[in-house]
Amino acid sequence: MENLEQLKNEILDRINTAEDLKQLDEIRVSVMGKKGCITEMMKGLGALPLEEKIALGKGLNILKTEIEKKLETQKNVLEEKALNEKLAGEKVDVTLPIRPEVQGRIHPVSKICEEVAAIFGQMGFEVADGPDIEDQFHNFNALNMPANHPARQMQDTFYINNNPAQPFDMDQAYVVRTQTSGVQIRTMEKQQPPIRIIAMGRTYRSDYDATHTPMFHQVEGLVIDKNITMAHLKGCLLDFMKAFFELDDLPVRYRPSYFPFTEPSAEMDIGCLKTKTELKIGAGTDWLEVLGCGMVHPNVLRAGGIDPNEYQGFAFGIGIDRIAMLKYGIPDLRTFFESDMRWLKHYGFTPLDISSMTGGLSNNGGLAR
Ligand code: DAH
């Protein structure tokens, strides 16, 4: 009986120190299995004298029950331990950034083009296109800027010799377009009114500082129909600016201006607050110029083959890079075109955030910062 007590302590001790369910099962088999020590002792009972058999049999039964109980509790403990370890191993920190990290970035200029197309698309505009290398008729003459027109000097034009066999002839040379306005003419040549288009793309002028680069981007707009007035222009551009800057209440004003291809011409300003360190759109008492616009000049309609006595229209031109700088707080235009991966990572957009009027222009995570 003394031995039984010692055996019990030994077995309970082993059970207590079992580290996992596998070890625990090994202990169970070694004690209660077919060849387990207690099973063997039970088998040996038959050979004992009756009294001893009764006493030892009783002791063994008690021992067996106790060990079974202990095995059960230890099993529960180890099962819980195993579950906790599994859960700890599978823990997900939902606040961590996603892996693998999304690598590509949408350039702010591309993003703005998507946004502009989404807004004007909603208003029923179509997207038109024209070539980067343009003849002077479409870039200048048809836009009421004949040779020697002083307005040509305002645009530091890059000329391209279109006939290398001949000496360079300034009047015949092609240009890399100085403005997207030529697409107005190309559209009128192809399409009868009603016309409602925007044209976005690269433009070129010989200029370089923090707000000018030799290549930059414009969006051109043209609406032609019967009975189009300046009121349509004002409403359309106001709606555009409010949608673009995602502000319901945006102060705007129109200032008289001059463009050869519009009469009357205007520039549109939006209200803002300018301090030394920040620029807040839609607040304060300062103004920022955002676009040029006006009623299409009769000469331009004529050059496009449209009768100005029957049709009127309005047009506008917006600097895409400029409104990108304003909307996303980018201080220097030159950095747009340096292809610096750090800059793109900072100012770029994740590719899956597609701009739409219903899903959001620049939200859904917006900037990939
Ligand atoms: N083409 C002008 C520029 O580059 C912008 C512009 C102004 C376009 C007025 C227009 C307009 O269509 O109506 O400065």
Q: Tens digits of per-residue pLDDT, 305-325?
A: 999 999 999 999 999 999 999
The pLDDT of residue 109 is 95
**High-pLDDT (> 90) share of the chain, %:** 70
- Listed in sequence order, the DSSP H helices in 215-309 are 230-244, 298-303
Q: Is residue 100 part of a domain?
A: no
Distances (CA, A) of 339 to 104, 205, 213, 345, 347: 13, 20, 14, 11, 12
Q: Whose CA is nearest to atom 6 of ligand 1?
A: 317
Q: Is the CB of 292 under 6 A from ligand 1?
A: yes
Does residue 290 lie within any of the structural domains? yes
Q: Give 257-305 pLDDT, tens digit per residue.
A: 999 999 999 999 999 998 888 888 998 899 999 999 999 999 999 999 9
In this model, does residue 367 exceed pLDDT 80?
no
Q: How far apart are CA 120 and CA 243, in angstroms?
A: 10
Alpha helices in the chain (DSSP H): 2-17, 21-32, 37-44, 50-89, 108-122, 136-139, 151-154, 182-190, 230-244, 298-303, 320-328, 341-347
The structure tokens listed for 360 are 């959001």
Ligand 1: does its nearest atom lie under 6 Å from the Cβ of 259?
yes
pLDDT value of position 245: 93
CA gap 131, 133 in Å, rounded: 5
CB 200 within 8 Å of CB 320: yes
Ligand 1 pocket check: which of 179, 196, 236, 312 to mutate, most ligand atoms within 8 Å of Cβ? 179
- Phi/psi-derived region of residue 223, left when phi > 0, alpha when psi is between -120 and 50, beta in every other case: beta
Kindly state whether residues 273 and 159 are assigned to the same domain: yes
Domain, as residue range, for 43: 2-89
Does residue 245 lie within any of the structural domains? Answer: yes
Tally of structural domains, the chain: 2
How many angstroms is it from 319 CA to the middle of ligand 1? 9
Q: Which tens digits make up the pLDDT trace of 39-81? A: 998 888 888 898 888 988 999 999 999 999 999 999 999 999 9
Tally of CB atoms within 10 A around 21 = 14
Same domain, 301 and 169: yes
Distance 259 CA to ligand 1 centre (A): 7
pLDDT for position 365:
43
In this structure, is residue 103 part of a structural domain?
no
Q: Are residues 67 and 164 in the same domain?
A: no
Report the CATH number that the domain containing residue 147 is assigned in CATH. Answer: 3.30.930.10
pLDDT of residue 78: 94
Identify whether 174 is part of a domain. Answer: yes
Ligand 1 contact via 220 beta carbon (within 6 Å): yes
Residues 203 and 326 placed together within one structural domain of the fold: yes
Q: State the average pLDDT over residues 107-126.
A: 96
Residue 262, ligand 1, Cβ within 6 A? yes
> Are 236 and 265 part of one and the same domain?
yes
Ligand 1 test: best mutation among 143, 257, 259, most atoms within 8 Å of CB?
A: 259
pLDDT tens digits, one per residue of 169-194: 888 899 999 999 999 999 999 999 99
Whether residue 98 lies inside any domain: the answer is no
Same domain for 327 and 204? yes
Give me the phi and psi of 297, to 5 degrees please. -65, 140
Residues 281 and 356 occupy one common structural domain: yes
The reply to whether ligand 1 has any atom less than 6 angstroms from the CB of 181 is: yes
Residues 70, 190 within the same domain: no
